[in-house]
Structure formats: structure tokens, C-alpha cells
Amino acid sequence: MSDDAPQLYLMTPAGAQASALGPLLAEVMDRIAPACLRIRGGAEEDELGRLADLAREIGHARDVAVVIDDHVKLALRHGLDGVHLTDGTRSVRYARKELGDDAIVGAFCGNSRHEGLSAAEHGADYVAFGPITESALYKGEPVELELFQWWSEMIEVPVVAEGAITRDLIAQLSPMTDFIALGAEIWTQDDPVAALVQLWT
């Protein structure tokens, strides 16, 4: 991909077990390096802690920032780089206060331009919109691609596209996004590494 192309934003499988994910996660990240690794929720806190330690070890060894869904205290306890907030604007100020100015605080804002603007104004480091197409994993209607075009032209805060991403959509989104998030798109396949390569290259 060209120098001005979006960067890969990799999400772990929801509810992943650290012991099963470890070797595969390292292999995926060695094949195509992401700019950020996000730990999805869906597991018990103890397992999320193990996953956080694993992801931090694998990510930081490759100079990749690691964030976790919503768990500010786990981010602090396990030395992660920040949080990805799934409730839009509501927790941005709290997360920033708890984690400090240097931490990454991202906000998922569904398909709402208003929510995205509000999150950016409250100090989010990036705003994520999605899903891009219909997906059982997301509530709400898909995002109109025009939102990414408008955001990229008008707003300086980086934008992430996530949810039901296809190879064709990556091509369409590339000129107007900073990051493209992939998770279920690869982990549900028999060979996640091959699936990533097929989507991304």
C-alpha cells in the first residue's frame, strides 16, 4: 500500500483465550504490522488480564500500541497504551483523567457524525465509525461512506473504519480514512494470516 494509505488497526477476537491466541497473533502481526492492536471484550476479567499481558508483550516487542475495550483500570494495571471506548463520548473525559494526557483514548461512535464530533471535542485521539456494511456484531445502521469523506476533509482527529470490511471497501475507504480495523474478518477464517494478506495486499 502507498505511503498515504490507511494503517491497519488490528482487533483481537471477542472473548479470545490468551493461551490459544498467542502464537497466531504474533504470526499475523509479523506478516502485516498494525499501527494499533485492540483487545476486544467478551471475556472474564482474569482472562482479559492474561490477554492484556500477552498483547502488550507481543505488541510492544513490535512497536505496536495496545489498547483495550472500555477497561480503564485494566489498561492501567497491565501497562497498556490506552482504551477504546465503545460508548461514544460518554467516558472520554473520565478515561483521559484516569489515564493521563499521553494515553490513547479512542471512541466508537457508530454512524453518528454528532457523536464523533462530540468525542473529538472531549479529547478523543481517534474516532471510529461502523459498521461499514450490515453486521450482526454491531447495533445500528451501516455508516454512509460520505461520512468518512466529510470527516477526512473537515476534521483533524484521525478516523477509523470498522465492521464488516471487505477488500473492495478497503479500496473505497483508503483515500478517506487514517486506519481500517480488521478483526472478525480474519479470525473467523480457517487461516487468519492468509485472510489478512488477501484483504490487505
Q: Which class for 163: exposed (0-12), middle (13-18), buried (19 or more C-beta within 10 A)?
A: buried
Whole-number pLDDT of residue 140: 85
pLDDT in tens, 37-73: 999 998 899 999 999 999 999 999 999 999 999 999 9
176 in helix, strand or coil?
helix
- Tens of pLDDT, residue by residue over 3-47, are 578 999 999 998 888 999 999 999 999 999 999 999 999 889 999
Q: Which domains does the chain have, with CATH numbers?
A: 7-200 (3.20.20.70)
pTM of the model: 0.96
Half-sphere exposure at residue 109, Cβ-oriented, CA atoms within 13 angstroms? 27
Mean of the pLDDT values across residues 156-168? 97
**d(C-alpha 56, C-alpha 59), whole Å:** 5
Q: Are 62 and 81 in contact (CB under 8 A)?
A: no
